[in-house]
Structure 1
Amino acid sequence: MKKLISTILKTVIFFIGWAILISFTPDIPTNQALLRLWWEFTPLVSIVLFSVIFIYVIEKGKIKIPIASRFFKNSLIGVGIGVVWLGSVATVFILTKTMNIQSQNNIDYIWIWILASLLNVSMQELLVRGYLYQLWKHKYNVIVATILTTGLFTLMHGGAFEAGFIPVLNVVSMSIFITLLLEYTGTIVAPIIAHFIWNTVGAIIIGGVSLASDYPKLLNSTFRGHPLISGGTYKIEGSIIVLVINLILITVLFILNKRTVRPKL
């Protein structure tokens, strides 16, 4: 019971402390792209700061966030998973004529928007599958850590609850398969890259994934057909196709994890 209370307190203090810190982020007088970059930069710096404090001061180095493990190889795995993940969904949408690209927009400072998306994804992964995941895995096991962080990740995407049952399942299944990717590669880099491809290409390029409302989209895509397939007003993230692809990736990564033996962190 003492271990459980201690772990819960660390989790609450870590998350709430981070949330309080970023609430003091001031706006800066600049264009919208740089402002969005600033809004994504400060939460990332804050989570890095909190992670360093908790890992090296509170945990005294007993817990680590895996980053450098076979960096190049696992980066390529992250790219491959991200391309297969979004690519397979987009392919089904295009072949079934569920998604149609109507026109193209000009985006000023597109590379700044893409960098902002990368910072946002890095923050999310470090917040959910960084210190907190490793804490619960160290204190208990992978299953407990996965359940807790998946719950947190789902709450962070609270808009899915308004969208319906399928979008919630999509968020939950995504979190599980990304966690399995973390376990398979032994580094948080692969999850960051796969998540980045989904968000950046899915939202900024084809406009089918939801990010903050000020993010632009390069292509104007329309989604039609039965809402169960097209996702309705929620587009890709509301589609059962995403759920099917997520479940396939979960199955594949689960099998790969069972076949791979890695030393504990």
Structure 2
Amino acid sequence: MNKKPLIKHGWLRVVVFVILIATPGLLVFLPATQQYIPFRELYDTTGMKFPMLYLSYLVTNGFMLIPAYLFCRFVDRRSFSSLGFEWGEYEADAWTGFFAGINLLSTGTLILLITGTLSLSIVLPNFLQLLYAIIFFAIVAFVEEIVGRGYILRNLMQSLPPMYALVISALIFSLLHLPNPTIGILPLVNLFALGLLLGINFIYTQNLWFGIFLHFSWNLVQGPLLGYSVSGISVNSVLQQSLDGSDIITGGSFGFEGSVVALATVIGVTFWVGDMYRGNSTKLQRIK
């Protein structure tokens, strides 16, 4: 028999959880507290190389897994595995997400190439740094999907209609990226749209694999393969870029996910995924 949650309402658990994980990051960027924080350089990922970037991510984002686990076990009073890790019948969803990420970046990049705002050249990458990047973005995909969809969206769906929960979780996902280098209004809007896309499968399936695979392939193709910055972080890549145009079109130093081209392609795929599930007559229900 399942134990009752320590905090009754799912939305209230999310409020407490978000405050807990967001407060340390907020304090880091307040001028009044920066002088008291050791190793402040770990919070500036601009130009940082692996493996120091691993450490920086663990300090700024990776430890979100610890409160997610603790809240699951001692506040929600359920198993961590209940967040949505079942593979079996969801394997097809996982690969759909993976190839959706590839198609998004490929389509957007093709548009930029055709319009002459982007040119690409092949370079000999640092293969060790490339391997670091692949592992790093796999970790990012797991951490952010467990927190954003597995914990936040799941709990919101216990209190709210699924579509409302999806919108709120996407907004939280976007705002949690505020500390990223060169963040701006358009990148925040795009991250909100990505939050909708990453979560739309979850509200129908309550499973994480679609989001994890899409999140991973999006970052993998964007950074290590095509040479964009990823949410403001530059990584070693197979292709080197030359951008010629407004940052609104190209994404500039934030990466492809800072461009209107990204916004258009993400919105298109989001509608496609939504129609796919509605076409399968999958019912939306609140999580109990």
TM-score range with shorter-chain normalisation? 0.7 to 0.9
Unmatched segments (≥5 aa) in structure 1? none
Match of 1:152 among 172, 176, 185: 172
CA–CA distance in structure 2, aligned partners of residues 256 and 33 of structure 1: 39
Matched with 2:97 is: 78
CA–CA distance in structure 2, aligned partners of residues 205 and 255 of structure 1: 30
Match of 2:67 among 30, 46, 50: 50
Identity %: 16
Is the counterpart of residue 240 in structure 1 residue 260 in structure 2?
A: yes
Q: RMSD of the TM alignment (CA)?
A: 3.5
TM-score, normalised to structure 1's length?
Answer: 0.80
Is the counterpart of residue 221 in structure 1 residue 238 in structure 2?
A: no
Q: Cα offset for 1:139?
A: 1.7
Matches within 5 A, 1:109-120: 109=128, 110-120=130-140
Matches within 5 A, 1:245-260: 245-259=265-279, 260=281
Query: How big is each residue's C-alpha offset from its partner over 1:29-72, in whole Å with a ceiling of 9 and x where there is no partner?
Result: xx952332344456776333333332232223399311214242
* 3-state SS, counterpart of residue 139 of structure 1: coil
| Paired residues of 2:11 and 2:156 also in contact (CA < 8 A) | no
Matched with 1:11 is: 14
| Paired residues of 1:122 and 1:192 also in contact (CA < 8 A) | yes
Match of 2:84 among 66, 74, 78: 66
TM-score, normalised to structure 2's length?
Answer: 0.74
Match of 1:200 among 220, 223, 226: 220
| Paired residues of 2:232 and 2:253 also in contact (CA < 8 A) | no
Q: Cα offset for 1:202?
A: 0.5
CA–CA distance in structure 1, aligned partners of residues 65 and 246 of structure 2: 43
* 3-state SS, counterpart of residue 77 of structure 2: coil
Would you say how many aligned residue pairs link Structure 1 and Structure 2?
259
Matched with 1:33 is: 50
* 3-state SS, counterpart of residue 157 of structure 2: helix
Matched with 2:148 is: 128
CA–CA distance in structure 2, aligned partners of residues 25 and 195 of structure 1: 31
CA–CA distance in structure 2, aligned partners of residues 203 and 172 of structure 1: 20
Unmatched segments (≥5 aa) in structure 2? 1-6, 29-36, 43-47
| Paired residues of 2:51 and 2:132 also in contact (CA < 8 A) | yes
CA–CA distance in structure 2, aligned partners of residues 14 and 232 of structure 1: 33
CA–CA distance in structure 2, aligned partners of residues 45 and 234 of structure 1: 21
Is the counterpart of residue 261 in structure 1 residue 279 in structure 2?
A: no
Q: Cα offset for 1:179?
A: 1.1
Letter of the aligned partner of 2:85 in structure 1? I
- Specify whether residues 231 and 111 from structure 1 end up closer, same or farther in structure 2 by C-alpha distance, changes over 3 A only: closer
| Paired residues of 1:43 and 1:123 also in contact (CA < 8 A) | no
CA–CA distance in structure 1, aligned partners of residues 73 and 61 of structure 2: 18
- Higher mean displacement: 75-84 or 177-186: 177-186
